[in-house]
Amino acid sequence: MPELPDITVYVEALETRIVGQTVERFRLASPFLLRTVVPPVSTIQGKRVTRVSRLGKRIVLELEPGELFLVLHLMIAGRLHWKPPGAKLIAKIGLAAFDFPNGTLVLTEASKKKRAALHLVQGAAALRALDPGGIDVLTATPETVGTLLRTENHTLKRALTDPTLFDGIGNAYSDEILYRARLSPLKLTRRLSDEEVARLHTAAGETLREWIERLRAESGEQFPEKVTAFRPEMAVHGRYGLPCPACGTAIQRIVYAENEANYCPTCQTGGRLLADRALSRLLGADWPKTLDELEQRRLANRKPQIG
């Protein structure tokens, strides 16, 4: 799912291309994309885009004469593409197209589960209703972050990815933030010391700013086309089994539902292996608790060499 760094770069690329431009035509290939009926989406045709902004993981296009907002949530597999004027929608994955005089903004979703959503709302109050309410960690103080984390007792992984708590952080960047902060994804928020909160706050700001700059440099003047949650430069996310860039320990993961938490046992959990509840119940005493136990299990399971 595109997260804060990806959405920031999308917004900047759209600002240079469509602010001041008029929506000449809107083409909708999938009726399931549009989640509102009032005002009718046909009203955007002939309207000029006055502003592009970010609302959590959503992209907001403000249209004249004011307080008319198109709100796009890309979800997991939604992506934006900037094409020449009048470009055709891509078969099967093309959901919608916004035609401007200078080009066409195409929305695709490369997944059988169509989850991307488009809302057209009138008025600031209607726009606020779509805001999950999480704080922007790039502008928040360590004290604000600590107070928010301790309001309820959740794992850090869950807290960071909760859009009602933190703005724009998802599965990928939460892994990277926790790795940089040297904190376990299963650490409970009410057990955080002030020093750990300060480390988390610093790590979040550094990680998100660093990736915004990386993605800006990658795109340059071009429209961002390589939007993905899995990047080889990442330290832990999507790197299960690969060596930690700091200590060389194999990266481990916890898989749950459609998400996963990736972490370095040496750097983040004191050498302890983490297990989700379902896996722990299934394996019971057979679940290896440490890296040494895991290595012993691997050695015992190796087939003897013949020859």
pLDDT digit string, tens, across residues 71-88: 999 999 999 999 999 999
Residue, of 260 and 248, whose pLDDT is higher: 248
Task: Return the HEC string of 236-303.
Answer: CCCCCCCECCCCCCECEEEEECCEEEEECHHHHCCCECCCCHHHHHHHHHHCCCEHHHHHHHHHHHCC
Whether the pLDDT of residue 280 is over 80: the answer is no
Q: What is the pLDDT of residue 118?
A: 98
Whether the pLDDT of residue 6 is over 50: the answer is yes
Region of 270 (left: φ > 0; alpha: ψ -120 to 50; beta: rest) is left
The first and second tokens of residue 124, run together, are: 């600031």
Task: Tell which residue, 147, 166, 157, has the closest CA to residue 187.
Answer: 157
Start-end of H helices in 136-262: 142-149, 156-160, 171-181, 194-219
Whether the pLDDT of residue 293 is over 90: the answer is no
Q: What is the pLDDT of residue 48?
A: 98
Ordered by start, the domain boundaries in the chain are 4-128, 142-286
Q: What is the pLDDT of residue 277?
A: 54
Q: Which CATH number among 1.10.8.50, 3.30.10.20, 3.40.50.1100, 3.50.50.60 corresponds to the domain 142-286? A: 1.10.8.50
Instruction: Compute the half-sphere exposure of residue 163: CA atoms within 13 Å on the CB side of its CA.
Output: 13
Q: pLDDT tens for residues 163-212?
A: 999 999 999 999 999 999 999 999 999 999 999 999 999 999 999 999 99
**Which pTM value belongs to this model?**
0.89
What is the DSSP code (8-state) at residue 120?
E
Q: pLDDT tens for residues 14-58?
A: 999 999 999 999 999 998 999 999 999 999 999 999 999 999 999
Whether the pLDDT of residue 281 is over 80: the answer is no
Q: pLDDT tens for residues 102-146?
A: 999 999 999 888 899 999 999 999 999 999 999 999 999 999 999
Q: What is the pLDDT of residue 256?
A: 75
Task: Return the HEC string of 51-114.
Answer: EEEEECCEEEEEECCCCEEEEEECCCCEEEEEECCCCCCCCCCEEEEEEECCEEEEEEECCCCC
Beta 78-83 vs 103-109: how paired, if at all?
antiparallel
For residue 8, report the phi and psi dihedrals to the nearest 5 degrees: -60, -45
Whether the pLDDT of residue 13 is over 80: the answer is yes
Q: What is the CATH number of domain 4-128?
A: 3.20.190.10
What is the DSSP code (8-state) at residue 115?
-
Mean pLDDT of 243-269: 92
Mean pLDDT of 269-291: 63
Q: What is the pLDDT of residue 276?
A: 64
Is residue 60 within 8 Å of residue 131, measured between CB atoms?
no
Give the C-alpha separation, 236 to 290, whole Å: 19
Is residue 247 within 8 Å of residue 236, measured between CB atoms?
no
